[in-house]
Structure 1
Amino acid sequence: MSAEAVGRHMPAVITLADLAAMTSADTHGRRYETSPEGVLSVVPPPDSQHAVIATRLTLWFGLAGWPADQLMQAAGVRIPGPDGDGGRIPDLTVWSRAQPDAVWLDVTDLILVIEIMSRGSESIDQVAKVAEYAAAGIPQYWTVARDVAQTVTLYRLGAAGAYEEAAKMPLAWLLQTSPADHV
């Protein structure tokens, strides 16, 4: 199908309900996200290394006593914007309390978003999402690079409302510490 044919069937404005419908209709496991400005991103399904990294981080939080109902992989997050809401699906989210059953969760209780970079997602994860998550007031944002060390970069929201790099370390080092040292 050509881009022109797809374009004829796309709505002029993509809502969060549209994203949810697109995701549920997709048989290939892709994630559909939009920025608050309405920029659509289609993210391929994660590979096995991506899944292992997400699982290791989830277990790290869980083994340290973080409640399972406050840890979510691939949960939809509503990103407020001046012209409307965007929707992102981070790889891992950490919440201050359990969340209601919803497709798109508000950022109110969100304390940490973790994105595991995949080929092709680096610019979105390191530029667009950094600005969006900071503007939404999410206190912490971490990225995990897919380099040999699986470098984790920890960002904290600064007084000026932008993220500041707090630490950078290999994933193996991070997993030898306690989440309480970082969150």
Structure 2
Amino acid sequence: MSAENVGKHMPARVGLHDLALMAEADEHHRYELSAEGVLTVSPLPPPSHAMLVSRLFAWLTANGHTADQVVAHCGIDVAGAGRVPDLTVWATGHPPRASRSPYADVEGLLLVVEVVADDSVTTDWVVKHHEYATAGIPRYWLVERDRETTVHQHRLHRDRYAVDVAGGQPLTRLLTSNLTF
């Protein structure tokens, strides 16, 4: 389909309801929207990415979080931005709930995990870092797909994230530790 044909059907300003409809109609792409209204459409991640998410999901559930608390690819409403983190961890008794849009409100959201892809480095490290901190999400982890699969853990301090472990830690070390929030 040409860009001209797609453009004919696009609203003048894309909102979270539009974003949800696009994502529902297209299972081959991930749709996100910045607070400024910038639409990002990216292909689904490769199997290696999905395997990292699965390993983290299994580790989080093995460390005291239920399957209802650890949710993969849950769309969240971050002050009007529509984000779809790789993993989210929710407080007991506070599962993701739709907000003013089909996306979940961040109330009860304890942790957001993003596996950094080559095409999302700036978005994950700068844009989402700022959006998640501004939204008051207590923890933000970035997982690099480098040789050691480095996990960078950030903890909210006032309105900004502070680094838990300087330089990050290899995923293998994280997966052999006990999780405490």
Could you state the TM-score of these two structures normalised by the residue count of structure 2? Answer: 0.91
- Answering whether residue 160 of structure 2 is matched by residue 165 of structure 1, we say no
Q: How far 1:137 moved relative to its partner?
A: 0.6
Q: Which amino acid aligns with 2:153?
A: L
Q: Distance in 2 between matches of 1:45 and 1:100?
A: 22
Is this contact kept in 2: 1:138–1:157, CA < 8 A? yes
* Equivalences, count: 175
SS in 2 for 1:133: helix
Q: Which amino acid aligns with 1:162?
A: R
| 1:120-159 paired onto structure 2 within 5 Å | 120-159=119-158
From the superposition, tell whether residues 107 and 100 of structure 1 become closer, same or farther in structure 2 (CA, over 3 Å). Answer: closer
Q: Which amino acid aligns with 1:122?
A: V
Q: How far 1:108 moved relative to its partner?
A: 1.1
Specify the alignment match of 2:86 in structure 1.
91
Specify the alignment match of 1:25 in structure 2.
25
Q: How far 1:16 moved relative to its partner?
A: 1.0
Specify the alignment match of 2:73 in structure 1.
74
Gaps of 5+ in 2: none
Specify the alignment match of 1:48 in structure 2.
47
Q: Which amino acid aligns with 2:38?
A: V
| 1:99-114 paired onto structure 2 within 5 Å | 99=95, 102=98, 103-114=102-113
Q: How far 1:107 moved relative to its partner?
A: 0.6
Q: Distance in 2 between matches of 1:58 and 1:27?
A: 22
Could you state the TM-score of these two structures normalised by the residue count of structure 1? Answer: 0.90
Q: Distance in 2 between matches of 1:122 and 1:100?
A: 26
Is this contact kept in 2: 1:79–1:107, CA < 8 A? yes
More displaced 10-residue stretch of structure 1: 106-115 or 43-52: 43-52
Instruction: State, as a whole percentage, how many aligned pairs show the same letter.
Output: 46
Cα offsets for 1:77-118 (capped at 9, x unmatched): 0011xxxx1110000000113425644110111010000011
More displaced 10-residue stretch of structure 1: 87-96 or 18-27: 18-27
